[in-house]
Structure 1
Amino acid sequence: MDASGTIAFLHDSTWHGKVFDGDWIAAHGGSQPIIEPATGDTLGATGLADAHDVARAALAARAAQRGWAAMDYKQRAQIFRKAAALLEQHGDELAAWIARETGGILPKAQLEVREATAHLHEAAAMLTQPQGQLLAAPHGQFSMARRVPHGVVGVISPFNFPLILSIRSIAPALAMGNAVVHKPDLQTPVTGGVIIARIFEAAGLPKGVLHVLPGGADAGEALCSHPAIAMVSFTGSTAVGRRVAELAGRTLKKVSLELGGKNSLVILDDADPDIAAANVAWGAYLHQGQICMASGRILLQRGIAAAVTERLLAKASTLPVGDPMSGTVALGPLINGRQVERLHGIVQDSIAAGARLLAGGRHDGRFYQPTVLDGVTPGMRCFEEELFGPVASITVFDSDADAIALASDTEGCLALGVISPSLARAMHIVNHVPCGHAHVNDQTVLAEVHAPFGGSGTSGNGGRHGGPADWDEFSQWQWLTIKSEAPRYPF
């Protein structure tokens, strides 16, 4: 119960140690505890799905999908609206869960609830949008291209923004008439899975249409391989994305990949140093830098570099780090000890290669201090590798052409930011740097539910989430012709 004595929406007797197939059931793979990264406390336990659970879910989803796609569109839209209302109604409770399970500060958790709600409203709106085109045809005949579901869509989501990065695929996939088998990250099974299962269960989604199966790599590989699953939407690292594509290719599934990369924030010498430093700090430190479009390269033009760095150091030295549930911190913990070790190794190796540590570079358990590295050059690990930690990695450049070359020196880029009052200069850089999305006079951590979102190169395979792109990803074209009577062919 909560403080008012009412039963919590996520009361764990409903889902403790279980997975979801329309009902809450025991998993073949057993169960696993859920650990709060800030405190090490156990928050509960989730069902642990294995390949057997995935196979069962895939077949059940395929059996349920046609009935779901045939349901009246108004009834389906109402389910999404009711799910959105439930998110809003229980927003405080759910945001607290997000903060505790992900280690993110409460405003970040509240943002997740708001954006997930918006995704549900967008999904409801899809059901009254045009679903095809009328094509040219002889008199008395009809020829049309219409959008039809894939069948069963598999979704695999990460730990960093688990509610948003799960529901942004699940909601439009369901809206298009697909059934969904979803594997949230085992580190965030509640906020990436249980919340979504509970809201759709309470909103009246028919049983068997959505399956939520927290699991490890074996469950993920089974999801990518099972022939009953027609498409996989994956968000995560480039290395795992390659494996997803390899496995899915064996059964010729459609695959949508949103992967990691190296994003640049370019500050030109005519920018305001105070505004520039605020953008750098936000892009590099928000959610401890554990964001796929974090500003991983800070490219400062030489004439403004000292002023921006001075202001950034003042911010890095004063941003408090600690338990996000205390309400007094700007940064929480990294998600696990492995990530701390990896990040610290990148920082130390870069210093050994000649980078200068100006702030941070230390940690207390999972709590990593906001870090500033200067003098970073191509070849250093902090220049080349995705950091996924609170490190501002500064590289100084001279000309706009140098900025283009540095920002383009990567195999994959989700986002680019350029800050300058000269829109012509900024757009020249944007037009010459391959990236999934670009922002003039803003940092790189931006996303909106109605805007296509995805990466270029090894940051994705050309897939996009959001707005009109959802139609491209979660449905396929079907050509349909209608004649009043069958023709008499000469054979």
Structure 2
Amino acid sequence: MTALTASETKSETRLVSREITTGEPLGAVELSTPDRVTSAARRAGAAAPAWAATPAEERAAIVERAADLLVERAEQAQELLVREGGAIPGKAFFEVRQAAQELRHGARLARHPGLPHPPADDPERTAEVTRVPLGVVGVIVPWNFPLLLAARSLGPALALGNTVLLKPDPHTPLSGGRLFVEAFADAGLPPNVLEIVHGDAEAGSALVQAPDVAMVSFTGSTEVGREIGALCGRLLKRVVLELGGQNAFVVLDDVDVEQAAAAGAWGSFLHQGQICMSARRHLVHRSIVEEYTEALARHAAALRIGDPYRSDAQIGPVIDRRQLTTVANAVEQAVAQGARLVTGGRPQPPYYPPTVLADVSEQMDVFHTEVFGPVATVTAFADDEAAVRLANTSDHGLTAAVYTGDTGRGSMIGRQLRCGVTHIGDQTVVQDAALPFGGIGASGNGSGFGGRASLEAFTRWRTLTTSTPPRTYPF
């Protein structure tokens, strides 16, 4: 089930992308040595001044044209997302269009940068205070939403006048890289404004350390995010980190249990649970926990498992064999620690069935450790105060949701949850390009995407003051 291989010749090293379920080659890209990464960053740096000087309207029009081309080429993009990344067609359909929306949102930021800054206190000094590009933005994206998670950095970064050095994940070099290169080139983006490199951790490290890279946008695991954050700190580079999530889905006692279970199943099992926002911990009021657990397990067991390219599967393959083993080991450990396996739990390589673990306590590892797969844990709580405490018993703080028909009660709980984004009357997997998104704690260093957060992340303040006539001083 290996998703990629590297094949060497005397002249070059190639990364071959393969379909997850069959191993069929889909295409190949050239791997980037550290020297090649540094050279690509240098080219992007050389292109940065002219691109920053390009009128905002012109930059925005190119980014919007690239968005249009992604949608026009949706069939090709969706097929790659399904075959290369294991997405079901519905997820691929959504991702292409949401990626285009992220690009369009970036273009809108360039056209409408916001209110002017207040004037200086000194009435005899005029001040020009503006947001200006950073220079070269390094973007490292994962395999689970390669198109969308790249677009949310590319759109604002490019539209606001930065150049970009993009490194897609080795599992998805085509859907996370080549599609963008072709779309932006055909949209009229000047040479070297978008550079792409391919490789694993060595290429990523070279990207972060490249002298021409002013900022790094990283989406991925908490472990790697800590390393990148530390390295950027030593190099005094701006960094946006969007990392893992041990997200709580709080179910109150006023709900329609079937509706709540359907929402919980979507939040936990969409894309095989391989989403940073997936609902990992279902915290359910004790008066309905048994009924809810039964309903959730029924929804999970009914999902169709199989090859999403050749069947109407709702659950596709796990990204690779190593991840499949990691998920299986986590479930086995949870059961050994006292969790009750209600459904699933038996690997069917390359698939892992939707799995529900009940009677999970906060003493179990699975309550605290992110399992990046289709696994939902269920824990009962006695009252709202206990729900808040359980939800906040995690180092992560990405998303959460409170499922209830009582918006006042739900909002009161939601405001107490320690995370970046909380949804009331919904599940945890919600994406809106116009709203700030990001996590705290082990989930990241705050909102760096969406809405005005993107403007703040991908630009800096520049203050220019003028005194006329020139000031005189007593020294």
TM-score range, shorter chain: over 0.9
Aligned-partner Cα distance in 1 for 2:155–2:61:
13
- Corresponding residue of 2:217: 233
Whether 1:165 aligns to 2:152 is no
Aligned-partner Cα distance in 1 for 2:348–2:10:
36
- Corresponding residue of 1:304: 288
Q: Give, in angstroms, the shift of residue 137 of structure 1.
A: 5.1
- Corresponding residue of 2:397: 413
Sequence identity (%): 43
The answer on whether the counterparts of 2:169 and 2:176 sit within 8 Å (CA) in structure 1 is: yes
Aligned-partner Cα distance in 1 for 2:217–2:461:
18
Paired residues for 1:6-405 under 5 Å: 30-130=13-113, 132-136=116-120, 138-139=122-123, 141-405=125-389
Aligned-partner Cα distance in 2 for 1:168–1:270:
36
The answer on whether the counterparts of 2:263 and 2:426 sit within 8 Å (CA) in structure 1 is: yes
- Corresponding residue of 1:8: none
The answer on whether the counterparts of 2:272 and 2:374 sit within 8 Å (CA) in structure 1 is: yes
Q: Give, in angstroms, the shift of residue 158 of structure 1.
A: 0.4
CA shift digits 1:182-214 (9 cap, x unpaired): 111000111111111111111111101111112
1:134/1:427 Cα in 2 relative to 1: closer, same or farther (>3 Å)? Answer: closer
Q: Give, in angstroms, the shift of residue 356 of structure 1.
A: 0.8
Unpaired runs of 5+ residues, structure 1, are: 1-16, 19-25
The answer on whether the counterparts of 1:27 and 1:47 sit within 8 Å (CA) in structure 2 is: no
Aligned-partner Cα distance in 2 for 1:81–1:466:
16
Aligned-partner Cα distance in 1 for 2:122–2:235:
38
Aligned-partner Cα distance in 2 for 1:477–1:29:
43
- Corresponding residue of 1:474: 458
CA shift digits 1:306-354 (9 cap, x unpaired): 2212211221121001111124111100000010000000000000111
Amino acid at match of 1:143: A
Aligned-partner Cα distance in 2 for 1:50–1:377:
46
Amino acid at match of 1:451: L
Amino acid at match of 1:352: A
Q: Give, in angstroms, the shift of residue 489 of structure 1.
A: 3.7
Amino acid at match of 2:305: V
Matched position secondary structure for 2:445: coil
Q: Give, in angstroms, the shift of residue 471 of structure 1.
A: 1.0
1:27/1:330 Cα in 2 relative to 1: closer, same or farther (>3 Å)? Answer: farther
Matched position secondary structure for 1:367: coil
| Worse-matched range after superposition: 37-46 or 285-294 | 37-46
CA shift digits 1:399-452 (9 cap, x unpaired): 211111111000112111111222232222212220110011101001100100
The answer on whether the counterparts of 1:416 and 1:437 sit within 8 Å (CA) in structure 2 is: yes
Matched position secondary structure for 1:392: strand
Q: Give, in angstroms, the shift of residue 29 of structure 1.
A: 6.6
Matched position secondary structure for 1:233: strand
| Worse-matched range after superposition: 99-108 or 76-85 | 76-85
Matched position secondary structure for 2:309: helix
Matched position secondary structure for 2:249: strand
Aligned-partner Cα distance in 1 for 2:220–2:48:
27
CA shift digits 1:152-190 (9 cap, x unpaired): 110100010000001101111111111111111000111
Amino acid at match of 1:89: E
| Worse-matched range after superposition: 85-94 or 333-342 | 85-94
Amino acid at match of 1:78: A
Unpaired runs of 5+ residues, structure 2, are: 1-5
Aligned-partner Cα distance in 2 for 1:177–1:29:
33
The answer on whether the counterparts of 2:245 and 2:278 sit within 8 Å (CA) in structure 1 is: no
Matched position secondary structure for 2:235: coil
Aligned-partner Cα distance in 1 for 2:217–2:113:
24
The answer on whether the counterparts of 2:140 and 2:219 sit within 8 Å (CA) in structure 1 is: yes
Q: TM-score, normalised by structure 1?
A: 0.92
Amino acid at match of 2:61: Q
The answer on whether the counterparts of 1:237 and 1:260 sit within 8 Å (CA) in structure 2 is: yes
Q: TM-score, normalised by structure 2?
A: 0.95
Aligned-partner Cα distance in 1 for 2:420–2:122:
41
